[in-house]
Chain A
Amino acid sequence: MLRFIARRLLVAGPTLLVVITLAFFMMRAAPGGPFDTERRLPPAVEQNLKARYGLDRPLHEQYLAYLGGVVRGDFGPSLKYPDKSVADILKQNAPVSLRLGLASILLAMAVGVSLGVLAALRRNGLLDVGAMGLAILGVCVPTFVTAPLLILLFGSTLQWLPNGGWNGGALPNMILPVVVLALPQAAIISRLTRAGMIEALGAGHVRTARARGLPEAAVVLRHALRPALTPLVSYLGPAAAGLLTGSLVVEKIFNLPGLGKFFVISALQRDYTVVMGMIVVYAGLVLLLNLLGDLMLAMVDPRVRLS
């Protein structure tokens, strides 16, 4: 098991390094800089600003200095908000995105798994058709369509829920963004669960359990569900990546003060350090969840860690 973890970490390290390197040089290759304003700054002022943030040093020195900072957990100061460090900005915005993502994945799991299991138990029944419909909807109707439509229906027309805004994470403000984010994930999860469940129900050990006269509920919950859900565990990483991507759009549409909304703005403003900090955090999060998924998979399925 330890060797398994070590091997996974061995991939994660280089990945993070590639992420930082690519992001660093791409950001610097972009025309313009953080101190470009409507009116041009006097050259002396700009020079001073650059010197203050070390931007006047050769690029490779800046790169190494940045790497050193990341290793120490220091993401540097923001270039656009002089009184704030990148860590401050992350601390301020990350909780919004995290709460949104966590609520969405929980909702997607609850809906997707129950729908998938029920659909597999009653194949071609009403719920199966419903699950198929949800799966199609989740694939064909992207978040940036569902979000405005739901706002139009529940926000503007019925006025049951607010059109957007965070309001300290109040429940009414959370409902629409979470539903929009969860929908595509729930669609995928229900399909995975349905396929896994159908396979599990036909497996030998389930037939044995039935033959021993176990009640149907015990057969399904104790014997079929576990192997049926194994593929879901490895979907954790991709799901997290999908949620992060979705949050870029959802935070923009619902005007939520999360990382996603900040990312695009910071990139456009050439706030190098903030963009870098966010990419490192995002990449770290995806890697961590991938690792977690692999670990859980190795725990429930011994074949994985032995191979």
Chain B
Amino acid sequence: MTDLAASPAPAARGRSLTDDAIARLRANRAALISLGVLALLTLFAVLGPMLSPWPYDQVNKDHVWVPPLTDGHLLGTDALGRDLLARLAMGLRVSLAIGLVATLVSLVIGVAWGATAGYIGGAVDEGMMRIVDVLYALPFIFFVILLMVAFGSNILLIFVAIGAVEWLTMSRIVRGQTLSLKQKEFIEAARAAGLGRLAIVARHIIPNLLGPVAVYVTLTIPAVILAESFLSFLGLGVQPPMASLGTLISAGAQDMEMAWWLLVFPALAMAATLAAFNFIGDGLRDALDPKDR
């Protein structure tokens, strides 16, 4: 797009594919609302701890199970008298961070693996994808559990473990895309024009991979958040007094008969986060790949 701006005064500005995609995304109300919701949630996760006068881990034995909107506790307090607003913001922050970082890990491994297999092709491709096939069939959640049990649960390990699981689908998508791109006429044209291998990959293959990868990334983040919560629920994820959405929901489920708010607010935050990412992902897919409609 920069070369467009540099060219001398174009008579009529053309519509690029990107413009089209942005227009389609703008017309998608669910995706737009989700973007807004996600922005609010992120803001809450970043600024939230400042909204509450209490730190997220401050225990107060005199303020156990205070209902919402009492004594300055907007969302009430938990079984140890800790302010739920502060804990929810902290939990959301941890869950979002895990979602982003683990997805990044899977992105790096998946794109490198898939693009290599797809671009080299032949026996290398065959071998690399058989490895993916075998790993795909593993009951991964059990291995993640084993990993947590074996090495104790620390956040870094959760990132690595979940990221290492999620890269498989990414590599399949990238490989498929690379394979089909390799056959396209415009790649052949680029090669005929004398472009080198590296230039073709950088200028033509990677930009065309971005769409499907972006879609899959937005769908992987909620999957990762869910996986982390799942581990936390089993007591294997984030350890107290640190909080994630999973630990909050788990604790809330135990106390729900005395204090409904401990389950309801974290569950709502979780549902809103997952829904927002999924709608944005769907919207991106529709915007970037109009053939699917």
User: A80 on the interface (CB 8 Å rule)?
Assistant: no
| B1 interface residue per 8 A CB criterion | no
Q: Contact between B150 and A152 (Cβ–Cβ < 8 Å)?
A: no
The answer, among A140, A148, A282, A287, for a CB contact under 8 Å with B271, is A140
Q: Is A263 on the interface with B (CB-CB < 8 A)?
A: yes
Q: How far is the CB of B230 from chain A (nearest CB, A)?
A: 7
Among A23, A136, A144, A252, max chain B CB count under 10 A is at A144
Shortest CB distance B153–A (Å): 12
> Secondary structure at chain A's binding surface: helix, strand, loop or mixed?
helix
Whether a CB of chain B sits under 8 angstroms from the CB of A111 is no
Contact between chains at A15 and B271 (CB < 8 Å): no
Report B228-282 residues with CB < 8 Å from chain A CB: 229-230, 233-236, 246, 249-250, 252-253, 256-257, 260, 263, 267, 270-272, 274-275, 278
Please pick, from B142, B230, B257, the residue contacting A142 in the complex, using a CB distance under 8 A.
Answer: B230
Check B257–A136 contact: CB distance below 8 A. no
Interface residues of A, CB < 8 Å — how many? 44
Flag if A249 contacts B230 (CB, 8 Å): yes
Query: Within 8 Å of chain B (Cβ to Cβ): is A19?
Result: yes
Asked if A268 meets B149 with Cβ closer than 8 Å, knowing A11-B137, A290-B137, the reply is yes
A131, chain B: closest CB distance, angstroms: 15
Say how far B258's CB is from chain A's closest CB, in angstroms. Answer: 11
Tell me if A12 counts as interface (CB < 8 A to partner B): yes
Which B residue sits closest to A157, measured CB to CB?
A: B257
Residues of A within 8 A of B146 (CB): 23, 26-27, 30, 267, 275, 279
A286 at the interface (CB under 8 A from B): yes
Any B CB within 8 A of the CB of A18 = yes
What chain B residues lie within 8 Å of A9 (beta carbons)?
Answer: none
Contact call B137/A287, Cβ cutoff below 8 A = yes
B139 and A283: CB pair below 8 A? yes
Pairwise interchain contact B253-A11, C-beta atoms closer than 8 A:
no
Alpha-carbon separation in the docked complex, A212 to B288 (Å): 39
Given known pairs A152-B256, A283-B137, A290-B137, the reply for A249 and B233 (CB within 8 Å) is: yes
- Check A148 against B263 for contact (C-beta < 8 Å): yes
Q: Is A144's CB under 8 angstroms from B253's CB?
A: yes
Q: Is the CB of B138 within 8 A of A144?
A: no
Q: Complex: how many Å from CA A140 to CA B250? A: 16
A26 to B150, Cβ gap below 8 A?
yes
Q: A138 to nearest B CB, angstroms?
A: 11
* Interface check B145, CB cutoff 8 A: yes
B149 touches A267 (CB 8 A): yes
Q: Are A144 and B233 also in contact (CB < 8 A) when A11-B134, A149-B263 are?
A: yes
On chain A, the residues within 8 Å of B253 by CB distance are 144, 147-148, 253
Contact of A141 among B138, B234, B250, B271 (CB under 8 A): B271
Q: Is B147 part of the contact surface with A, judged by Cβ < 8 Å?
A: yes
Taking CB atoms, residues of chain B closer than 8 Å to A145 are: 249, 263, 267, 270-271
Q: Is B141 an interface residue (CB 8 A)?
A: yes
A140 and B137 in contact, given A263-B145, A264-B234, A267-B149 (Cβ under 8 angstroms) = no
**CA A268 – CA B236 in complex, angstroms?**
10
Contact of B274 with A15 in the complex, beta carbons under 8 Å: no
B: contact size bracket? 35 or more
Q: How far is the CA of A282 from the CA of B146 in the complex (A)?
A: 14
Separation in Å of the B131 CB from the closest CB of chain A? 9
Please give, as numbers and ranges, the residues of chain A lying within 8 Å of B134 by CB-CB distance.
11, 14-15, 18
> B186 interface residue, CB < 8 Å from A?
no
Closest Cβ of chain A: how far from B88's Cβ, in Å? 15
Determine if A156 and B250 form an interchain contact, defined as CB atoms under 8 angstroms apart: no
Question: A245 in the interface, Cβ–Cβ < 8 Å?
Answer: yes
- Looking at the assembled complex, report how far the CB atom of B173 sits from the nearest CB atom of chain A, in whole angstroms: 16
Interface residues of A in 35-66 (CB under 8 A from B): none
- A29, B137: Cβ atoms closer than 8 Å: no
> Which A residues lie within 8 Å of B138 (CB)?
15, 18-19, 22, 283
Chain A nearest CB, measured from B142 CB (Å): 5
Q: From B257, which residue of chain A is reached at the shortest CB distance?
A: A156
**Smallest CB–CB gap between B267 and chain A, Å?**
5
Is A139's CB within 8 Å of the partner chain B?
Answer: yes
A253 to B145, CA, bound (A): 17
Cα separation A26 to B144 with both chains bound (whole Å): 10
- A residues 90-146 touching B (CB-CB < 8 Å): 136, 139-142, 144-145
Tell me the bound Cα distance from A140 to B249 in angstroms. Answer: 14
With A144-B250, A145-B271 already in contact, the answer to whether A252 and B234 are too (CB < 8 A) is yes
CB <8 Å contact, A144 and B137: no
Contacts A152-B256, A252-B233, A264-B234 given; 7 further ones with Cβ under 8 A? Answer: A22-B138, A26-B143, A136-B278, A140-B274, A144-B233, A148-B253, A264-B145
Chain A interfacial positions (CB closer than 8 Å to B):
11-12, 14-15, 18-19, 22-23, 26-27, 29-31, 136, 139-142, 144-145, 147-149, 152, 156, 241, 244-245, 248-249, 252-253, 263-264, 267-268, 275, 278-279, 282-283, 286-287, 290
Q: B residues touching A (Cβ–Cβ < 8 Å)?
A: 130, 133-135, 137-139, 141-143, 145-147, 149-151, 222, 226, 229-230, 233-236, 246, 249-250, 252-253, 256-257, 260, 263, 267, 270-272, 274-275, 278
22 A-B pairs within 8 Å (CB atoms) are namely A15-B134, A15-B137, A18-B134, A26-B146, A26-B147, A27-B146, A27-B150, A140-B270, A140-B274, A141-B270, A144-B230, A147-B253, A248-B145, A249-B233, A252-B233, A253-B253, A264-B145, A264-B149, A264-B236, A268-B149, A278-B142, A286-B139
